[in-house]
Structure 1
Amino acid sequence: MSLTVVNGLPAHVLIVHFVVVLVPLSALAVVVGAIWPSAARRMGVVLPVLALVTLASVPLATEAGEWLEEHVDSDALVRRHAELGDGLLPWAAGLFVLATVIWWTTRRPAEAEAAPMERPRSASSRSALVVRVAAAVLSVGVAAGAVVDVYRIGDSGAKAAWHDGFSKTATGERGDNG
């Protein structure tokens, strides 16, 4: 087994499924954690670890895709898919950075957050609120960008793979005699 072929199939068509699942899952977890700190505390270190696995899966899919690109007929659709695929890594890196920031800033127990409500807000609690609001806004933006990019990449890959690979009408012939 190599990074190029798995069980006779190009590895890209298998690895890409991890990316298609992990990017939206990480995006959702990051947004939920940024908006709902108690959820981030419950997720704990799983949040940045999930985003790290997501980040690692992107270059694996890209590398396997570059190998596949060299082994198929090149056309405009394949080139467009490859170009779009090269743009996902920054989005995945953004999800990882945000997941790490959210995890780091929500590690405190809930009681420590509730106590400042009884006295005037200190400079540190105001800065923590600013960081949380900024993380939430950035999380929504990066998550949306990552998910849209995965959709665009997947759509272009499907078009590249299937644009001449099927008939819109049934041929009536089946290999299973049924």
Structure 2
Amino acid sequence: MTTFNGLPAHILLVHAIVVLLPLSALLLVLTAVWPAARHRLAGPNAVLAVLVVLLVPLTTDAGEWLERRVPSGELVRAHAELGDTAILYAVPIALLALVVWWRGREARAAAGRRTYLAPLSSAVTNVVAVLALVAGAAGVYGMYRIGDSGAKAAWTGNFSSQDNGRGHN
């Protein structure tokens, strides 16, 4: 996908990633550490996290298309390099979201018996929670860095700090 409704697809898709990846990261942490949230939100978050993994390559491909059509510069190159790392945040979040969901599913189905991902093991639950915190924090920070570099690439030198006199009264 290169354009949508006359606009570069990247500038539209990136908004989905910037919102959905941190949301999925937050939900991952919440479902990993809070059993009530896990019961209600782990399944929807697993779906959301997988959707984000599918959206990342579409967004980066659209970004590469756009990169070839804007003036080259250090800020654009820096953003493109950081943008390529988005998948490294999305995949662990999705894998852990699937693990949290699957463990909750097994716990409900097991009725006290031990199953493959050991949903009754507090040690495994603690390891998953720590991994979720690390992956979630890394994902949010990574998206901040990618988004900040994109904003700098798009806006540096493209606005004035002076009011143009056309303000609203």
Assess same fold via TM > 0.5. Answer: yes
Partner of 1:34: 32
Distance in 2 (alpha carbons) for counterparts of 1:170 and 1:131: 57
Pick aligned residue for 1:140 from 133, 146, 162:
133
Please state how far the C-alpha of 1:43 moved relative to its aligned partner. 2.0
Distance in 2 (alpha carbons) for counterparts of 1:6 and 1:41: 38
What TM-score results when the alignment is normalised by the length of structure 2? 0.89
Distance in 1 (alpha carbons) for counterparts of 2:143 and 2:11: 14
Q: Percent sequence identity over matched residues?
A: 47
- The answer (yes or no) to whether the contact 1:38–1:110 under 8 Å persists in 2 is no
Partner of 2:17: 19
Pick aligned residue for 1:62 from 56, 60, 63:
60
Say which SS state the counterpart of residue 46 (structure 2) adopts. Answer: helix
Aligned length: 165
Cα RMSD (Å) of the superposition?
Answer: 2.3
Say which SS state the counterpart of residue 21 (structure 1) adopts. Answer: helix
| Structure 1 unpaired stretches of 5+ | 117-123
Please state how far the C-alpha of 1:125 moved relative to its aligned partner. 6.7
Distance in 1 (alpha carbons) for counterparts of 2:101 and 2:35: 9
The AA in structure 2 aligned to 1:27 is A
What TM-score results when the alignment is normalised by the length of structure 1? 0.85
Partner of 1:121: none
Distance in 1 (alpha carbons) for counterparts of 2:32 and 2:125: 7
- The answer (yes or no) to whether the contact 2:28–2:42 under 8 Å persists in 1 is no
Point out the structure with max Rg over C-alpha: 1
Say which SS state the counterpart of residue 45 (structure 1) adopts. Answer: helix
Partner of 1:109: 108
Partner of 1:131: 124
- The answer (yes or no) to whether the contact 2:53–2:94 under 8 Å persists in 1 is yes
The AA in structure 2 aligned to 1:93 is V
Please state how far the C-alpha of 1:37 moved relative to its aligned partner. 2.3
Task: Sort the Cα spacing of 1:12 and 1:125 in 2 relative to 1 into closer, same or farther, 3 A.
Answer: closer
Say which SS state the counterpart of residue 121 (structure 2) adopts. Answer: helix
Within the alignment, does 1:91 sit opposite 2:89 as a pair? yes
Within the alignment, does 1:51 sit opposite 2:49 as a pair? yes
Partner of 2:77: 79
Distance in 2 (alpha carbons) for counterparts of 1:67 and 1:166: 24
Please state how far the C-alpha of 1:173 moved relative to its aligned partner. 4.5
Distance in 2 (alpha carbons) for counterparts of 1:78 and 1:99: 32
